[in-house]
């Protein structure tokens, strides 16, 4: 079995607060049922820590378990065994309602496809997400405008998805994930649908946001070129973390 030491990318923010890692996976194993009595082991004894204000790149071949790791960290899938701690709370022990609340309050999720509603403007995409959280649009609007500014979309708030480029749509997606002021940002192949130049600017934006907002970010990427922009890299192979290392500044 593969066992790796655990790395933690620490940022000045994390060090100042002398805090524990924002996100910790301890000996996480995830098996999906397969056939009558069989199973597929998507994650095997995975240990990973991520500190506030740092980006960890998650790399590895297709099928190695990267998306499964994000799904577990996002509280969308419960691991077969192991602990998942967000701000010190083990989410695997929570009841459904508590887990949903924790996901809403602490976790931002950004997938490859922005998944925007075609008929809504950029700012409305953020407001509808807040509405689903129980927040009134009028109250949420100032923050929505601010988050669109943060991602470089000031002036484009009234555009609908078809009036935005692929990179701009991904920026709306990022702004939406920031609305709830998450502790953890989970990002799955954010640049898969983008050209090279736009991919670089999206990764740089994610790194900037991570530092400015002090979130712990895990970013799955197949684009190893952008890994040096991040703070640490974790490599997955056959469901296990085969290598974890910090990236020299």
Query: Which residues sit at the interface with Mg ion, rule CB under 5 A?
Result: 66-67
Q: Give the side-chain half-sphere CA count within 13 A for 33.
A: 3
3-class SS at 136?
coil
Number of residues that bind ligand ADP (CB under 6 A): 11
Report, in Å, the least distance between residue 180 CB and Mg ion: 24
- Asked if 182 and 106 count as a contact pair (C-beta separation under 8 A), the reply is yes
Work out which of 67, 125, 168, 191 binds ligand ADP, going by CB under 6 A.
Answer: 67
Work out which of 10, 54, 64, 210 binds ligand ADP, going by CB under 6 A.
Answer: 64
3-class SS at 235?
strand
Distance of alpha carbon 6 from its chain centroid, rounded?
Answer: 19
Q: Which is nearer to ligand ADP, 57 or 67 (CB)?
A: 67
What is the C-alpha to C-alpha distance for residues 210 and 231, in angstroms, rounded to an integer?
Answer: 11
Check binding of 66 to ligand ADP (CB under 6 A).
yes
The site map against ligand ADP for 43-62 (x = CB under 6 A) is -----------------x-x
Cβ neighbors of 246 (< 8 A, separation 6 or more) are 7, 9, 231, 232
Check binding of 37 to ligand ADP (CB under 6 A).
no
Q: Which is nearer to ligand ADP, 64 or 173 (CB)?
A: 64
Report, in Å, the least distance between residue 71 CB and ligand ADP: 7
Number of helices and strands in the chain (H, E): 7, 10
Report, in Å, the least distance between residue 68 CB and ligand ADP: 3
Question: String of b and e for 63-86 (b: at least 16 CB within 10 Å)?
Answer: ebbbbbbbbbbbbebebbebebbb
- Of Mg ion, ligand ADP, none, which one sits near residue 12, judging by CB under 5 to 8 A according to partner kind? none
- Of Mg ion, ligand ADP, none, which one sits near residue 92, judging by CB under 5 to 8 A according to partner kind? none
Q: Residues interacting with ligand ADP, by CB under 6 A?
A: 32, 40, 42, 60, 62-68
């Amino acid at each position: 079995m593969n066992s790796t030491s655990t790395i933690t990318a620490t940022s000045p923010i994390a060090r100042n607060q002398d805090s524990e890692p924002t996100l910790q996976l301890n000996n996480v194993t995830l098996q999906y049922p397969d056939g009558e009595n069989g199973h597929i082991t998507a994650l095997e004894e995975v240990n990973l820590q991520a500190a506030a204000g740092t980006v960890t790149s998650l790399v590895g071949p297709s099928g190695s378990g990267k998306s499964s790791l994000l799904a577990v960290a996002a509280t969308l899938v419960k691991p077969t065994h192991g602990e998942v701690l967000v701000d010190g709370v083990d989410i695997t022990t929570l009841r459904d309602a508590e887990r949903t609340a924790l996901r809403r309050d602490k976790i931002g999720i950004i997938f490859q496809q922005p998944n925007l509603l075609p008929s809504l403007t950029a700012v409305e995409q953020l407001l509808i997400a807040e509405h689903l959280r129980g927040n009134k649009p009028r109250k949420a609007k100032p923050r929505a405008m601010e988050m669109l500014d943060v991602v470089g979309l000031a002036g484009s708030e009234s555009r609908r998805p078809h009036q935005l480029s692929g990179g701009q749509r991904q920026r709306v997606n990022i702004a939406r994930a920031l609305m709830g002021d998450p502790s953890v940002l989970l990002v799955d192949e954010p640049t898969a649908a983008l050209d090279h130049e736009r991919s670089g600017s999206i990764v740089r934006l994610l790194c900037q946001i991570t530092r400015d907002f002090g979130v712990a970010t895990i970013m799955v990427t197949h684009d190893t070129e952008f890994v040096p922009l991040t703070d640490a890299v974790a490599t997955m192979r056959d469901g296990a973390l085969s290598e974890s290392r910090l990236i020299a500044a």
